Chain A
Amino acid sequence: MSELPLIIDDRETPKFWVNRATMVEPKILETERKSIFDKCWLYVGHESELENVHDFRTRRVGGRPVVFVRNSVNNINVLVNVCTHRGMILETRKEGNARKLRCFYHGWTFNTEGDLVTLPGEESYPKGWKRQDRCLPRPPHVDSYRGFWFLCWDKEQSQSLKEYLAGASDYLDLIADQSASMMKVSSGTHYYSMEANWKLLVENSIDGYHALTTHNRYVQMIAASGVDFKKRGGSLTGQAGAPGRGGMDLGNGHAVVGSPDLSHGKIPGNLARDFQNDNERQEYTKYRSELIKKHGEKWTDRILGGRNLLIFPNFIIVDGVGMGCTLRTFYPAKPDYLEITGWEISPPEISEALLPARKTGFLTFWGPAGLATPDDVEALARCQQGFASYQIDPWNDISRGMETEFPGGTDELQMRTFWRHYNELMTGEKAIPESAPYKMFASEVEAS
């Protein structure tokens, strides 16, 4: 393993450097699996993906196969998707509806509670052998917040999900509050990959600095649609931070870059194409006034702003509101290869008139064939290629905005927040936050 520190957090100069060895060395990935992915709360799925009793989704969480399932009495379970007999994967479909999970190898069959309910030739097992001892294992901790389900593989985890989320729970509220009932994940999933280290995607997902260059073609498209880019507010156009705006440390390594809707309803999301017609504008105004009725104007402006949210270590929500909202999680298969899953989530009550803008807004930016995400995939792969020289220059520089009281969207406080917490989990050195805690800003925003 590299002899150098993982990060240099120099408050004097100041500067913040990250060791490129963290992107390359297999030993570091091994430590990350133990010290990060096996310790933290990890995103599993959204409640709306399981509409009916016995609906299930299979996925890997922290590298382990699980089935996310609604049982016969409408409770949500997360079960390890592996037969307790001799270890075969139970359900291989990505989604479906099943009363029973049956292992075809020897026929052991489990219900959606994980109980082993039948097996061929049970009488041949010794007297003391009990079916009840061979139920499907569950992650030690499973919990949800506003429809978002998480698990934690660490028996010793002492923080509840709510405590773990810290300031990030406010941001999940801002997303959940977009619907009067329950936000809904669309059918259709983006399963893709990058030839890059997973932490590059963490950085990239909350990086406003790259927007105008990497996503030049997206910006061209927005300009061609008639939007004056310079007049647009928003987190990604380089606007300076202010309390509750720009990059923020949400605690426990979570971070956000975003802004309330500074246009007070005139613009449908930070970076979207403008309203295409009056009908769209009217429907959006109607939607906004319903939110105001329920949540007040301040909170509504926060809801209808935009945000790129990181929930440490690997759950990202990029929410452009009017242009759609994506959920994204990922896990490293190798130091230089990660698998990503992306979903779209939206308020089910959204009017027909606003759907096309949301759909095209989403797809023009996000997803592996949009007008933006493929450029991130390419950029990160090229960084990874560059790291072949990491012993010559081991340092990535993420010092932007270090002397700024309220770092803006194109500053890098949100990334430093991630790396400080990362370093704490990897080395045990206590992270010292750079900025005042988020809660202070939140109350200022409420009061202003």
Chain B
Amino acid sequence: MNKASNSKRPLADNALPQSLGSDINLRLAVENFLYHEAELLDTWCVEEWLALWTEELSYLVPSTDKPDGDPRKDLLMIQDDRFLLHQRVRSIVNGTNWAENPRSTIRRSITNVQAKVVKENAVEAKANFVVYRSQAASLNIFPGHAEYLLETGGPEGFYIRMKRAVLDLEELRPHGRVAFIL
């Protein structure tokens, strides 16, 4: 350990072995991005959230009994393309998504973030999440993990090309529905 790492100054890139340093920097950048995404969703800034996506996109939530469900043949719960994701967001904004009108209080924690570069400008990321949703007297907990395909760029560092949010629930009971965005 050299002196620099003991000081209050932020960790410089060169304070760590090259390979380790770049992995950590990538993870920090992805974490930053996922925290930003989480904040937008928890504060219902869903239109700003939409701006985080690439033009061609896929937002997937598999059925609880088939976490590895293939959207081409299996039954998922959500498989939105750009058009449908826009419609989903629109219904939240204009209040026709009745289960979220009035809006529930949602709060999510994002942990266990992992990221790796898969090709130039493309990053695969994974994270665990827990979303707490409360409305009137009820509290439902949605634990799960999400897989992302990210593209580098944009003001937040990345764009989302694919997000697959897998609920760690065997049944959606007593939750009954997912009307907010995971």
Contact = CB atoms under 8 A, between A and B. Distances in A.
B78 to A, nearest CB: 5
A192 B87 contact: no
B173 A374 contact: no
A362 interface: yes
Contacts of B90: 217, 220
Interface in B40-93: 61-66, 69, 71-79, 81, 83-84, 87-88, 90-91
Most chain B Cβ neighbours within 10 Å, of A190, A225, A379:
A190
B132 to A, nearest CB: 18
B24 interface: no
Contacts of B71: 359
Contacts, number: 129
B120 interface: no
Given A364-B84, A375-B99, A379-B98, A190 B63 contact: yes
B10 interface: no
B96 A186 contact: no
Contact of A221 (B61, B63, B87, B172): B87
Interface in B129-170: 170
Interface string A171-196: 00000000000000011111111110
Given A94-B65, A216-B96, A374-B99, A187 B178 contact: no
Interface residues of B, number: 38
B176 A368 contact: yes
A377 B66 CA distance: 22
A367 interface: yes
B179 interface: yes
Contact of B88 (A188, A191, A371): A371
Contact of B83 (A225, A367, A377): A225
Interface stretch (A5-13, A263-271, A336-344): A336-344
A348 to B, nearest CB: 10
Interface of B: 61-66, 69, 71-79, 81, 83-84, 87-88, 90-91, 94, 96-99, 170-179
